[in-house]
Amino acid sequence: MQPSPPESFHNGTFDNQLYMMPQQHSMQPRHMQSIGSQHQEERYSQHLQTLSDTLTSGNVSDSSNAESPTIPGVREVSGDMFLEDPVMLRRTCIPVERTKDKADRLSYECLQQVRGNLEATLHPTINHWLTVFDKIETMTWGGNAEKRNAVMAHYMKKNGYESRQHAYNRAVNRTVREVTMTNVPEVLRSLPDGSTFLQVQEPGLHIYMSQTIIRRAVSHDLFALVGEHPQD
């Protein structure tokens, strides 16, 4: 058995006191505790002892170790469960470009809302994209106009809406419900203002028309209306 590391020790490379919990109190993930194999316990003890020796010797650097990245091919997380103690995992920190990250987060937040909105298909896809555009424009950004412009530039990318159109189309398509000649979801029978959209429903014929269009046709003595669906 490996000896338990000290509860606390001082590292000469730091000004503050460093603390390490003894092995019997280490916060192992529940999944590891359920496995309980001797091999994993010995491996964990060796990792813990190595870390203790490194810290007590003062051989510590606050820079990332380029030669010790995360081990390729080894699963560290399964769902929301760590397969190893996260304190023991080797990692490489990657700097984040904050303005780009903010633009992507705002877009992702909108996409999540679209996926959960059953009426998302009732509006043009570009309207959802413009929701984020307007949000970036109206946020205060702490009075930092340069930051707002940088976030907007990342959101717009090279081609504006076209740069993110595919992602928004996929989000909207997630809300599409099946429509058959005998079954039309209630939300598609009416327009957003509550007026009737499905005027005629027969086994071989559906007629969708807004009441506003019908009134205009009657007022102009029109007997036939032809609708052309624009290409998206």
Q: What is the pLDDT along the chain (232 residues), one digit of tens a residue?
A: 555 544 444 444 444 444 444 444 444 444 444 444 455 556 556 655 655 565 555 544 444 444 444 445 556 677 777 777 767 777 666 667 899 999 999 999 999 999 989 888 878 899 999 999 999 999 999 999 999 999 999 999 988 999 999 999 999 988 877 788 888 888 788 887 888 899 999 988 998 888 888 888 889 888 777 766 655 4
Whole-number pLDDT of residue 137: 94
Q: For residue 111, what pLDDT is reported?
A: 95
Residue 158 pLDDT? 83
Q: Which long-range contacts (CB under 8 A, 24 or more apart) does 18-22 make?
A: 18/55, 20/48, 20/51, 20/52, 20/55
State the pLDDT at residue 83: 75
The whole-angstrom separation of Cα 217 and Cα 124 is 25
- The reply to whether the predicted model has a pTM over 0.75 is no
For residues 96 and 100, give the distance between their C-alpha atoms in angstroms, rounded to a whole number. 8
pLDDT at 49: 62
Q: What pLDDT score does 41 carry?
A: 58
Nearest to 48 by CA among 30, 62, 27, 66: 27
pLDDT number for residue 151: 94
Distance of CA 168 to CAs 128, 164, 231, Å? Answer: 7, 7, 16
| Residue-wise DSSP of 147-189 | HHHHHHHHHHTTTTHHHHHHHHHHHHHTTPPP--SS---HHHH
Give the pLDDT confidence score for residue 107 in this predicted structure: 95
User: For position 112, what pLDDT does the model report?
Assistant: 94
pLDDT (0 to 100) of residue 125 = 92
Task: Give kind and range of the element (H or E) at residue 44.
Answer: helix 38-56
Structure confidence at residue 179 (pLDDT): 83
Which pLDDT value is given to residue 7? 44
What pLDDT score does 53 carry?
Answer: 60
Beta-carbon contacts of 213 under 8 Å, excluding residues fewer than 6 positions away, are 225
**How far apart, in whole angstroms, are the C-alpha atoms of residue 126 and residue 124?**
5
